[in-house]
Structure 1
Amino acid sequence: MERSSGSGPAVVAFGGGHGLSASLSALRLMSDRLTAVVTVADDGGSSGRLREEMDVLPPGDLRMALSALCDDSEWGRLWRDVMQHRFHSEGSMNQHAVGNLLIVALWELLGDPVSGLDWIGRLLGARGRVLPMASVPVAIEADIRSPGDDAVHVVRGQSAVAAAPGEVCHVRLTPADPPVPADVLAALDAADWVVLGPGSWFTSVLPHLLVPSIVDALRRSSARRCLTLNLFPDSGPGAGMTCHQHLDALAEHAPDLRFDVVVADPSAVEDLDRMHAQVEALGGQLLLRQVRVGDGTARHDALRLAAAFRDAFEGTLGDVGPR
């Protein structure tokens, strides 16, 4: 199913979970030529149960991305709420999300994950497409240094990595070279901008940069690249890490990848000089903008983040802070 033409730049947004939902909620305000590419490593909750029982891609992060792109009408908002609704019971349906079941049902009927997601997008009136990062489920494996000593242990599975105490040193994917839907590679070839982050750094952001086909497509794409840093306090694997440590992890896992713009909220930057040096090492410019919600919690404000993306995309970086 071809994506219809629309207005605004062609943007491919990588991520998963709440971080990708935040970037999509902002990007949809400035373009409807959006493609969300979503991690498929989740092995917990409703998604994990369906993945194990039905041998399918975990649908949860895909569902959240579709919901973030739904049409802003009574129809779209109602179907968004249906997609996000979870059952509460004493039986096997407890905590299953309706959208997860609907996605898996379409996959069974159509035999094609991409077509199934496109049909859900049509139902929601989604402003853009949602595609899986890989055509098969992947598993995350992490080297984690235990707190209090220098011992490094291997932890397997996204939910186990998310719950493991200690410092995440490195992550890998199994399989290491998963097949990627052709539509993902085509979207990268046609993109004006690629947006990475925010999100759980080791389980939602970096996994995209561990897929060889995606990295090759990024290298040949003429699209410019924007990295969006997290707000703090962070949660999940890597909790307690600073934005500087996140950039160090990015450089370690994708040493030759360059970014044109790095968006950061000033409240998350501890050492501005160090941040400038790290961003320059990535080949880009630092764009400091308040993108946090006004109540001070660690949530991105869609309007503020959209304004930051617009400045980044239009080259109006303005004041990026003292050098």
Structure 2
Amino acid sequence: MTANAPAIVAFGGGHGLAASLAALRRITRHLTAVVTVGDDGGSSGRLRAELGALPMGDLRMALAALAGADEWSQTWADLFQHRFGGGGALAGHAVGNLVLTALAERAGSPVAALDLAASLLGVDGRVLPLSCAGIDIVADVTGLDPNRAGESAEVRGQAAVATTPGRVAGVRLAPAEPAACGAALAAAAAADWIVLGPGSLYTSVLPHLLVPDMRAAITGADAHRVMVLNLVAQPGETAGYTPEAHLHALATHVPGLRLDVVIADPAAVGDPDPLARAAADLGARLHLAPVRVPGEPALHDPERLAAAFRAVFAQDGAVAVPSAARPMDGQRAWPGRQPGAACADPSGVGCSSTGGSGHRIPSGECKE
């Protein structure tokens, strides 16, 4: 860690991760986003099915969230977020998904593609995939058949799990032990703070902890670990969950997981005592702070969330200050490429794998 600038790794996906990144970029330039790669819906799902590509939607959103504040960077960020209309073959595709897929094909590596795109968008920090190969989320769900309420059925795929009308009893990955991205493992090992959430519990947060190498990296890191809770339960995936139920599910799926802090908005909690006890069961203290957009009960406010992070970091001796926006220089050099069958990473950290604003939905998540 450099003075007043902690190294932070934020794990998640969709709009939940974008909200976290929008807050954390106000605090440090030493920021890495590690993004789930289980999306099988929308534009990402189509490219995955047609080309065998890594789902790029959540990765694209993370890049846009960290794009520079200058006109050049924002122009490219807006273009990456642009989605084609109409009814043809391109309808529904986001430009950034297509560009990232093409870059990955040309560079021979999704990590190299993301680094190239990050340079183009003037990103402060880095965006990395959880794995360099796509994964599938498989859930055991009860209540799908009203005549057999106690029976469990298998639901496969992130889009299906996120919208299931039943109750998720547990999730797992297919393949069961995917390889984690080596650069993401290195970032976790070097972090001062690891941030989980906000985001969909079963499809954005837990997948990181179900990849064996990454689970070991997160649970074994010297970093402090903070969990940011959702403002509301997600219809389908966590319908009816209390805030403490999210932590209970986390503990059930990842025995031995220890957290340091749980951040929650008091307006979303009700009685804080059960939540404080659930946090304590994970070794964490509860930090209550207003983090939602006034008048928008399901949306995190970046400035308020940043203030909550600052307070948490300061209390644990890692005081951070915001950095200035990256200036436009007009001469951004793209990093060198290292194409190869494995996930070659131009930073020199190889991947271990061999193989927008405007969306307002209750969970704060959107898979694209």
**Class of the TM-score when normalised by the shorter of the 2 chains:** over 0.9
Q: Which whole-Å CA distance do the structure 2 matches of 1:272 and 1:163 have between them?
A: 28
1:240 offset after TM fit, Å?
3.1
The sequence identity of aligned pairs, in percent, is 53
1:117 aligned to which of 114, 119, 122: 114
Q: Which whole-Å CA distance do the structure 2 matches of 1:49 and 1:150 have between them?
A: 34
Q: Which whole-Å CA distance do the structure 2 matches of 1:250 and 1:77 have between them?
A: 36
2:36 aligned to which of 26, 39, 44: 39
Contact kept? 1:200, 1:236, Cα under 8 Å: no
Contact kept? 1:293, 1:300, Cα under 8 Å: yes
Residue of structure 2 equivalent to 1:54:
51
Contact kept? 1:135, 1:178, Cα under 8 Å: no
Gaps of 5+ in 2: 318-368
Matches within 5 A, 1:1-323: 8-146=5-143, 148=146, 149-315=149-315
Residues matched between the structures, number: 313
Q: Which whole-Å CA distance do the structure 2 matches of 1:189 and 1:202 have between them?
A: 24
TM-score (norm 2): 0.83
TM-score (norm 1): 0.94
CA deviations on 1:138-193 (whole Å, 9 max, x unpaired) are 00000111164112111111111122211101000001111112111110111000
Q: Which whole-Å CA distance do the structure 2 matches of 1:140 and 1:105 have between them?
A: 25
Moved more, 262-271 or 57-66: 262-271
Q: Which whole-Å CA distance do the structure 2 matches of 1:121 and 1:152 have between them?
A: 43
1:7 offset after TM fit, Å?
6.8
1:63 offset after TM fit, Å?
0.3
1:230 offset after TM fit, Å?
0.3
Contact kept? 2:27, 2:310, Cα under 8 Å: yes
Aligned AA (2:185)? L
Contact kept? 1:233, 1:298, Cα under 8 Å: no
Aligned AA (1:157)? G
1:239 offset after TM fit, Å?
2.7
Q: Which whole-Å CA distance do the structure 1 matches of 2:297 and 2:82 have between them?
A: 24
Q: Which whole-Å CA distance do the structure 1 matches of 2:126 and 2:117 have between them?
A: 10
Q: Which whole-Å CA distance do the structure 1 matches of 2:181 and 2:27 have between them?
A: 26
Moved more, 15-24 or 214-223: 214-223
Contact kept? 1:171, 1:202, Cα under 8 Å: yes
Q: Which whole-Å CA distance do the structure 2 matches of 1:261 and 1:26 have between them?
A: 17
1:6 offset after TM fit, Å?
9.8
User: For residues 210 and 39 of structure 1, do their structure 2 counterparts lie closer, same or farther at Cα, with a shift above 3 Å needed?
Assistant: same
Aligned AA (1:171)? V
Gaps of 5+ in 1: 318-323
Contact kept? 1:15, 1:204, Cα under 8 Å: yes
Q: Which whole-Å CA distance do the structure 2 matches of 1:143 and 1:23 have between them?
A: 29
Q: Which whole-Å CA distance do the structure 2 matches of 1:77 and 1:95 have between them?
A: 21
Higher helix share: 1
Contact kept? 2:165, 2:236, Cα under 8 Å: no
1:236 offset after TM fit, Å?
4.8
User: For residues 87 and 134 of structure 1, do their structure 2 counterparts lie closer, same or farther at Cα, with a shift above 3 Å needed?
Assistant: same
Q: Which whole-Å CA distance do the structure 2 matches of 1:7 and 1:282 have between them?
A: 28
Q: Which runs of structure 1 show a deviation greater than 2 angstroms over 4 or more consecutive aligned residues?
A: 233-236
1:30 offset after TM fit, Å?
0.4
Aligned AA (1:105)? A
Q: Which whole-Å CA distance do the structure 1 matches of 2:219 and 2:241 have between them?
A: 28
Residue of structure 2 equivalent to 1:320:
none
SS in 2 for 1:299: strand
Larger RCO, structures 1/2 (Cα 8 Å, 6+ apart): 2
CA deviations on 1:77-135 (whole Å, 9 max, x unpaired) are 11111000000122110010000000001001100110100010000011110000011
SS in 1 for 2:299: coil
What is the RMSD computed on CA atoms of the aligned residues?
Answer: 1.5
Contact kept? 1:7, 1:32, Cα under 8 Å: no
